[in-house]
């Protein structure tokens, strides 16, 4: 348990940020699962938007976001 006042405030803000990050990750993962069930361009656009927002907020790293988008794009593009 922190004793210093600033450490107490930091712990409080960390808990709040962790909640937001968890919610964002959960929403993103559920959108990805919904896309995998029905492979449509509309669902892909929603997933891209959510992944980009998560990367912008710092919940996901940019490389991971790009990797997710690339792998999902492969599922919808026609085979050569």
Determine the angle formed by the axes of helices 41-57 and 62-76, rounding to 10 degrees: 170
Q: How would residue 1 be classed by pLDDT, with cut points 50, 70 and 90?
A: confident
Tokens 């348990």 -> residue: 1
Enclosing domain of residue 34: 5-76
Rounded to an integer, what distance in angstroms lies between the CA atom of residue 60 and that of residue 55? 5
Mean pLDDT of all residues belonging to the chain: 94
Report the alpha-carbon distance of residue 51 to residue 59 in Å, rounded.
9
Tokens linked to 27: 């929403």
- Measure the CA–CA gap between 66 and 80, rounded to whole angstroms: 22
The structure tokens 């808990």 sit at 15
What is the pTM (predicted TM-score) of this model? 0.83
Total tally of structural domains belonging to the chain: 1
Q: Is a pLDDT exceeding 80 seen at residue 80? A: no
Which tokens belong to 72? 């999902």
User: What is the arithmetic mean of pLDDT over 30-51?
Assistant: 94
């Amino acid at each position: 348990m922190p004793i210093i006042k600033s450490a107490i405030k930091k712990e409080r803000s960390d808990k709040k940020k962790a909640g937001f990050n968890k919610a964002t990750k959960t929403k993103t993962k559920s959108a990805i699962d919904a896309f995998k069930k029905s492979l449509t361009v509309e669902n892909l656009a929603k997933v891209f938007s959510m992944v980009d927002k998560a990367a912008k907020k710092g919940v996901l790293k940019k490389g991971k976001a790009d990797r997710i988008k690339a792998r999902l794009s492969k599922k919808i593009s026609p085979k050569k």
